Amino acid sequence: MESIQSVKQRFEIIGNDPKLNRAIEKAIQVAPTDISVLVTGESGVGKENIPRIIHALSHRKHNKYIAVNCGAIPEGTIDSELFGHEKGAFTGAASARSGYFDVADGGTIFLDEVGELPLPTQVRLLRVLENGEFMKVGSSQIQKTDVRIVAATNVNMAQAIDKGRFREDLYYRLSTVEIGLPALRERNEDIHLLFRKFASDFAQKYKMPTIRLDQDAVALLLKYHWGGNIRQLRNITEQLSVLEQKRDVGYAKLKDYLPHVGSHLPAVINTKSNKSDFGNEREILYKVLFDMQKDINDLKKLTLELINSGNSSDVKADNEHLIKQLYAHTPQNSTLRSMNEGDIDSQEAEKSQSIDVIDYKKPENTKAVDKYHFAEDIEEEEEESLSLHDKELELIKKSLDKYEGKRKEAAQELGISERTLYRKIKQFNL
């Protein structure tokens, strides 16, 4: 059995953290077996090294090793990629194709981001793990495969199972042995060591002197959160190597390359909507307009009942609560306000300029009213005052005038995207 140190040198793994050493030790121990392994850890911690170690130290090392990023394959084609398909199985399947489980027979398949697999594919994978059987897409013939599966995920599997996104039985099949890799911030003593290794590699790659950090910069390096782990550290080292003319980097210069410096916690993203006061006023205006539209429809219904029944006093008495509600939405009319306060008087209602209650039992009133034109006039008034199209056009014009035609600022004021505003401008021919 190879030692941990020799495996590190062979696979260029840097660090002496006890958790890292324990993960490598477990990989060495399970490699000679055919046990399924699940590698867990945050994105960027180097999970891809564990399946390479397991395959290289197993009896399958002379056969195929295939790494599959499950999160990068579209849901509609992942079954075909993993298990193959027959000719004509779906549109575009011009010929039969072998899947990864067929090609890697006798070898090892590394399923990266296994937590992203769709549920139907999880069922197929479970069958492979249980008895080594699978069927191509569009085929009814069962095929056998002898494949060692090593999976990896940065998803919290317990939460994924609780939410129904991952099958519990598949999780237990995959995680016969679970190997967890620590985050970079948990390997404090390894951070500067990794930086120096990356700096040396990039100096050779770009044929320039090696980047070095002073004492304060090293302290900042160790204190930083490293949400992207080793991948983020490597990227920042490469940026420094390429962009900095001076090879000695201090605290202030390093700080420019590290986002959210000064926080030991990940950056908190404000998920609250940042709506402007203008946007809130617009929503209130829409609500008022919709309420008024409903009330006017009720008023039209009441008016037609008056016309049809010819008994205004009875209808009015039956709908007194409705009249109060309707008049309450017209505060600019003093007569309607007094009615809303409970002083509903038929004489004042007849004097009202906005709405007159007419006794249709009298012949002269019956002659004076054309039922069709009365209803038509109400509809026309509704279209003129309650058209959302007109209100929206008016708001857009005001905002564009306010910002002198600058679409970006106008869109922010309106609470919509600039693309939506551009579409509205074309729609209204502004």
3-state secondary structure labels for all residues of 13-60? CCCCCHHHHHHHHHHHHHCCCCCCEEEECCCCCCCCHHHHHHHHCCCC
Lowest mean pLDDT among 116-120, 253-257, 285-289, 352-356: 352-356
Of 123, 114, 102, the closest CA to residue 150 belongs to 114
Q: How far apart are alpha carbons 416 and 430 in whole angstroms?
A: 17
Q: Is residue 49 part of a domain?
A: yes
**Mean pLDDT score of the chain, rounded to an integer?**
80
Contact 44, 231 (CB under 8 A): yes
Query: Domain check: are 159 and 210 in the same one?
Result: no
For residue 404, pLDDT over 50 is answered with: yes
* Domain annotation covers residue 302: yes
Same domain for 394 and 379: no
Q: Are residues 26 and 152 in the same domain?
A: yes
Q: For residue 299, what pLDDT is reported?
A: 77
- For the cut 90, the answer to whether the pLDDT of residue 198 exceeds it is yes
Per-residue pLDDT, averaged over 18-40, amounts to: 96
Overall size of the chain counted in residues: 430
For residues 418 and 301, membership in a common domain is answered with no
Is there a domain that residue 37 lies in?
A: yes
Least confident of 71-80, 180-189, 355-364, 408-417: 355-364
Same domain, yes or no: 60 and 169: yes
Strand 148-153 versus strand 133-135 pairing type? unpaired
Distances (CA, A) of 275 to 284, 315, 317, 338, 415: 13, 46, 45, 37, 6
Mean pLDDT, range 168-184, rounded to an integer:
96
> Are 173 and 79 contained in the same domain?
yes
The pLDDT of residue 343 is 43
Question: Is 272 within the bounds of a domain?
Answer: no
**Kind of pairing between the strands at 133-135 and 142-144:** antiparallel
pTM of structure: 0.60
More confident residue, 319 or 121: 121
Count H helices, E strands: the chain?
22, 9
Helix H or strand E encompassing 240: helix 229-243
- DSSP classification of residue 145: -
8 and 123 fall within a common domain:
yes
Last residue of a domain, one of 182, 208, 239: 182
Asked if residue 25 is part of any domain, the answer here is yes
Residue-wise burial string across 89-127, b where 16 or more C-beta atoms lie within 10 A, e elsewhere: beeeeeeebebbbbebbebbbbbbbbbbbeeebbebbbe
Pair (116, 240) in one structural domain: no
Specify the CATH number for the domain of residue 121: 3.40.50.300
Residues 364 and 378 in one domain: yes
User: For residue 190, is it within any domain?
Assistant: no
Average confidence (pLDDT) over 10-33:
95
pLDDT of amino acid 133:
94
Query: Strand 177-180 vs strand 65-69: parallel, antiparallel, or unpaired?
Result: unpaired
Domain count for the chain? 4
Q: Is the same domain home to 409 and 301?
A: no
> pLDDT tens-digit profile of 51-76?
999 999 999 999 999 999 999 999 88
- For residue 43, tell me if it sits in a domain: yes
At a CB cut-off of 8 Å and minimum separation 6, what does 322 contact?
298, 302
Percent of the chain's residues with pLDDT above 90 = 57
**Domain residues for 420?**
389-428
The CA radius of gyration of the chain, in Å to the nearest whole number, is 37
Would 264 be classed as within a structural domain?
Answer: no
Instruction: Check residue 206 and give its pLDDT.
Output: 93
Same domain, 304 and 410: no
Do 380 and 294 share a structural domain? Answer: yes
